[in-house]
Amino acid sequence: MQESPEENPQTTLYELIGGKDKLRALVDRFYDLMDLEADFAALRAMHPPSLDGSRDKLYLFLSGWSGGPDLYTPVHGHPFLRARHLPFAIGTAERDQWLTCMLLAMRELEYPEEKQDLLLNAFFGTADWMRNQQS
């Protein structure tokens, strides 16, 4: 039986996600859903017509953010995550669309519910910090 992060505080989110291949699958499914589902239209509208660059950047960023290899910084420099997103109006609705899209991606990839809860909680902190609108 695999230890949960509560049982082993050394477990990183990267390990919880399942490493590079699972992280890539999660990011790809997230963007597939965002591109296909009308519920995420406002979120999709913030992205360029091709999602290829966005997919790569999120994958690279989440790798380091989650405790895996720092892949983003050597290619793109410091993420300055909030500053890079300031041109976009991000309120509660956009935050919740991002989180819902990520949750659906985890469910479709059959992450156990306990993992979904832990990851969603971690994603929430960053997603909420990205808000720059009161709504």
- Kindly report, residue by residue over 33-85, the tens digit of the pLDDT: 999 999 999 999 999 999 999 999 999 999 999 999 999 999 999 999 999 99
- pLDDT value for 135: 80
Token representation of residue 13: 């989110």
Res. 3 pLDDT band, cuts 50 70 90: very low
On whether the pTM is more than 0.85, the answer is yes
- Kindly report, residue by residue over 14-36, the tens digit of the pLDDT: 999 999 999 999 999 999 999 99
Which amino acid, residue 54? S
Does 15-129 carry CATH code 1.10.240.10?
no
The H or E element spanning position 85 is helix 81-85
Residue that the structure tokens 């819902």 belong to: 100
Cα distances from 84 to residues 76, 102, 108, 131, in angstroms, run 12, 20, 29, 12
Dist CA 116 CA 103 (whole Å):
7
